[in-house]
A and B are shown apart, each in its own frame.
Chain A
Amino acid sequence: MRRVVLICSAGMSTSLLVTKIQEAADAQNYELSVEAFPIAKHMEAVEGADVVLLGPQIRYEMDKVKKATNAPVEAIEMTAYGMMDGNAVVTQIKGLLND
């Protein structure tokens, strides 16, 4: 079971993406859990995460988040985020984890 953490500023748009990612993963029988956190809680958020993804509006905090974890940290690609494309993000996750 892969633990995926999404970090964003507000949580609104990211919350919907959480659902889309879960749906896409379930459809592929790829076991993962996804949770969204605001950037203010990033220290707590990264605990136990296998991979951390940042919303585009919080991308500039990449270094701060990388310092808090050994897990791979990457920004969610703008188009995938804009289209709420769960499949694209699952592909990104698999790539980062070599799954």
Chain B
Amino acid sequence: MENTETIAFKIIASVGTARSMFVEAIRKAKEGKREEALQLIEEGNSVFLEGHKAHMELVTKEAKGEDFNLSLLLVHAEDQLMSAETIRIISEEIIELYDRVN
């Protein structure tokens, strides 16, 4: 089990990348490139999953009653994770919207 700082960075890197991909997907949809947009959503989802897996390590740690350091960095990682998930949900809807508009 890695230390929480390392896990936090893994989460931030993965979900941060996913977040960017979801935003890029919206932009592709805006340009009328639906297939590329959907491709980016899919890539984003798989990258997000890596962050989610790392996050599960922490959840397991806590569930086992193991002590871990709740740092500002970890709070930031959690925040990034939620933000990425929210943007994914919205991006899927917006892609459909652009589809109707285009």
Contact = CB atoms under 8 A, between A and B. Distances in A.
Interface of A: 10, 12-13, 16, 55-60, 75, 78-79, 81-84
B73 A58 contact: no
A57 B19 contact: yes
B76 A84 contact: no
Interface residues of B, number: 20
Contacts of B80: 57
Contacts of B47: 78
B98 interface: no
A82 B10 contact: yes
Contacts of A58: 16, 20
B73 A56 contact: no
B27 interface: yes
Interface in B19-36: 19-21, 23-24, 27
A13 B51 CA distance: 15
